[in-house]
Amino acid sequence: MSAAVISTETQSNLSQTLTIQCPPNGLSLQGRIRVPGDKSISHRALMLGAIAQGETTIQGLLLGEDPRSTAICFQALGAEISELNTELVQVKGIGLGNLQEPGDVLNAGNSGTTLRLMLGILASHPGQFFSVTGDSSLRSRPMSRVVKPLQQMGAEIWGRQGNSLAPLAIQGQALKPIHYHSPIASAQVKSCILLAALSIEGRTTVTEPALSRDHSERMLRAFGVELTVDPETKSVTVTGPAQLYGQTVIVPGDISSAAFWLVAGAIVPGSELVVENVGVNPTRTGILEALALMGADIQLENQREVAGEPVADLRVRSSSLQSCTIAGDIIPRLIDEVPILAVAAVFAAGTTVIRDAAELRVKESDRIAVMAQQLTKMGAKVTELPDGLEITGGTPLVGTDVDSYTDHRIAMSLAIAALNATGITTVHRAEAAAISYPGFFQSLTEIIH
């Protein structure tokens, strides 16, 4: 029986509200949790499996809405993908360069990863015409960051507002290799260019201001692609044309999903949680480094390697957090975790400053503005910066009505903040959590004591 009262209610428009009522004497979190499969790896396993020769099998696939969008798109392009589940998904690839021209518009839903990475693959199919779109949120997110380098490679792409917004139309071309100096550290930009380069004769290089997550590089190598990484120059080079071969992919738990439990366990007094089977790829562990700077008690246990990705169980105990500054090269390695880090900062002594995170303004929502507004509603002292947040911790939170703005990470971050708020907190449009973490609220109910 949960010490807090947690309930959900679905409205007539299918919007869902989550209500959390904390008892007067507080609560604690205890137990072991398995988070869904890593979203980034799930996307890439489906995509590479679709363009490889032979069969790819995927274990532990994330069943969120975003990977479903990837699967639907690549089924429309001719790949055979079995029913999605966490146990075993089979992908019968059609080989690089053999995608079929679909009879309808490809819909990436809410998934920026699906749309941006897929553009690189589609642009390199000479003679084929494709059109892609997404939901209202995705249609407002910037695509010029991938369209421009693809155009430098010879791609023909049209879209709204100077080819910067979906819907987009793509006329496949024989592309040329380039050396692209990306103005931002973005795994999506880098991956899009690398995927386009697979069909090109010669060497294509992407150089970033800081190394972004490297799931694409690891998986491309596993599928047989010749690829080199130069950490000193922060560059990745693909030599094409390549041939990909079907593989067995085991998807570890998503550290971005684990981050909610790590912060919850750290800020709720008397708590101890173990989050099992979490991917701890060094390009994704900025969240662990940031929480260590804040004094969180987190231990890595049972460290191992699964299908080329480092994995561990993460044990977190409640602790007294301290403020810190989070900025610079660490930001690309924790960009998705900034909303829940902001919640941790609310309960840390002193003033925490998060900078160099302007990228958050063009995610599923303007995460800087939304987190500042919603935490302020709950009584936190938050100042919105152009590229981040300044948060002075120590002010008790009070339950109130807050809104996810249909952003999955906002919905879950506000739910965790509510665990330490007095009274009743209602999170509106809480159904957004299912985009990356179906079952999040059920898991929350199970660990509350």
Between CA 440 and CA 449 the distance in angstroms is 17
Cis amide bond preceding 241, omega within 30: yes
Q: How far is CA 155 from CA 125, 145, 148, 167, 173, in A?
A: 10, 14, 9, 16, 6
Q: Indicate which residue of 336, 356, 387, 401 is catalytic.
A: 336
Whether 336 is catalytic is yes
Tell me how many degrees the CA angle 52-55-58 measures, rounded to the nearest 5.
Answer: 100
Judge contact between 262 and 285, C-beta under 8 A: no
| Eight-class DSSP state of 285 | T
Instruction: Tell me which residue of 286, 291, 374, 300 sits closest to 332, measured CA to CA.
Output: 286
* Alpha-carbon torsion (83, 88, 94, 96), positive or negative: positive
Q: Is 297 exposed, middle or buried (0-12, 13-18, 19+ CB in 10 A)?
A: middle
Between CA 92 and CA 427 the distance in angstroms is 41
Between CA 281 and CA 309 the distance in angstroms is 6
| Helix, strand, coil % over all residues of the chain, rounded to 5 | 35, 30, 35
* Alpha-carbon torsion (208, 62, 360, 309), positive or negative: negative
Between CA 315 and CA 39 the distance in angstroms is 22
User: Pairing between strand 401-403 and 424-428?
Assistant: parallel
Between CA 398 and CA 210 the distance in angstroms is 39
Judge contact between 370 and 388, C-beta under 8 A: no
Between CA 65 and CA 110 the distance in angstroms is 8
CA distance between the termini of the chain:
7
Q: Which amino acid, one-letter code, is at 308?
A: G
Between CA 382 and CA 365 the distance in angstroms is 18
Between CA 74 and CA 42 the distance in angstroms is 13
Judge contact between 163 and 173, C-beta under 8 A: no
Q: Which amino acid, one-letter code, is at 449?
A: H
Between CA 309 and CA 296 the distance in angstroms is 24
Positions annotated as catalytic residues are: 336
